[in-house]
Amino acid sequence: MEIIETVEAAHAFAASNRQRRVLVPTMGALHHGHLELVRVARKAAGPDGHVSVSIFVNPLQFEPGADYDRYPRTAPADEDACHEAGVDLLFRPSPTEMYADDRSVVVEENALSAKLCGNSRPGHFRGVCTVVTKLFHLLAPHAAVFGEKDFQQLAIIRRLVRDLNIPVEIIGVRTVREADGLAASSRNQYLSSEEREQAAVLRSALLEAADLARNGEASATRIVAAVRERIGSASLARIDYVELVDADTLQAQQQATRNSLVAVAVFFGKTRLIDNICLQ
C-alpha cells in the first residue's frame, strides 16, 4: 500500500495511474462500516482496478462549537486497517496541505443542503462539497463510494457531480449496523455505556415508521409523531429533528409515498447521531 500526504503526490498519482480508480473519502477513525465501503470499492474497481482511501478531518465542515478538536484521530490503526483491507493508496494530507491560509473559494449547494442537517449545522455541507471537489480533482477517480447513513450528504454529492459535470460515478452503500441496529459511526465511541444502550432506539423507531407505512399509514404527521414518541422513550435522547421527506428532493411531504425517507438526528449527551429509513 502506498501512502501519500501532499497535493503534489496526489497529482502525480492521478497523472501516472491508468487503471480504473475508485475512491473512498473518509475522515478516519475507520470502523467496519468504512471497510464495507472499501469492499464495495474493490468490487467496483474490478480485478485490475485501484482502490484509494482518503483520510482527512476537514475543518471546513465543522461549524463553530462542533467537535473538530476532539474528533477521533487514529492514524496507526487506520493505516493497518487499510493495509489489511487491500487498499492500494492511502491519501492522508494535512489541513495546511489542503487549504491555503488565504483561501477564498468554496463550493456550495443551495437546495438540498438547506434542510435537515443543513439547518442544524450551518456551513457543514459547504465544507463537504469543497473538500469532495478537491479530492476529485486531486485523485481523479472514476468512481467514489459513500454510505447511505449520511443520506443527505450522498444526495448533495450526486447533485454536485451532476451540476458541475464532474466525471465521477457516485456509488451509495447501504448503512452498516451494529448487532442492535445502531448505525456504525466514528462518533459512537463518544457514547457512555448508558447512552450507547439507549441509542439503539433510533433503529427501532425507524422500523416502526416503516411498519406503519407498510400497513397503510400515509400521514406524515402521524408517522413522525410515532417516531418521536419512540425516541422520546429513551430518557437520554434529545431530538434535533425527525422529518419525512422525498428521497430525491429532500422536500418535506405531507403524505408518505414509496419514495419517502424518514430522517432523524438525535443527541445522546453531546453526541449527535443521524439515521434514516426508506419507506418502500
Mean pLDDT for 131-142 is 98
The widest CA-to-CA distance across the chain, in whole angstroms, is: 56
- Could you say which of 2.60.40.10, 3.40.30.10, 3.40.50.300, 3.40.50.620 is the CATH number of the domain covering 2-173? 3.40.50.620
DSSP structure string for 149-187: GGHHHHHHHHHHHHHTT---EEEEEPPPB-TTSPBP-GG
Catalytic option among 11, 31, 34, 50: 34
CATH topology (fold) of 190-279: Pantoate--beta-alanine Ligase; Chain: A,domain 2 (3.30.1300)
Please give the pLDDT value at position 260.
Answer: 97
Please give the pLDDT value at position 83.
Answer: 97
Q: Residue 201 — φ and ψ, nearest 5°?
A: -65, -25
Read off the pLDDT of residues 74-99 as tens digits, 9 standing for 90 and up. Answer: 999 999 999 999 999 999 999 999 99
Read off the pLDDT of residues 164-194 as tens digits, 9 standing for 90 and up. Answer: 999 999 999 999 999 999 999 999 999 999 9
Mean pLDDT for 57-86 is 93
Kindly list the domain boundaries of the chain, sorted by start residue: 2-173, 190-279
In this model, does residue 197 exceed pLDDT 90? Answer: yes
Q: What is the pTM of this model?
A: 0.96
C-alpha cell at 46: 474490478
**If you ran DSSP here, which 8-state letter would residue 28 be given?**
S
Residue 66 confidence class, pLDDT cut points 50, 70, 90: confident
Mean pLDDT over the full length of the chain: 97
- Per the annotation, the verdict on 124 as an active-site residue is no
- Is the torsion defined by CA of 216, 219, 224, 225 positive or negative? negative
Residue 63 confidence class, pLDDT cut points 50, 70, 90: confident
3 state SS of 117: helix
Percent of the chain at pLDDT exceeding 70? 100
Q: Which of 78, 87, 81 is nearest to 51 (CA)?
A: 87
Please give the pLDDT value at position 280.
Answer: 76
Read off the pLDDT of residues 149-164 as tens digits, 9 standing for 90 and up. Answer: 999 999 999 999 999 9
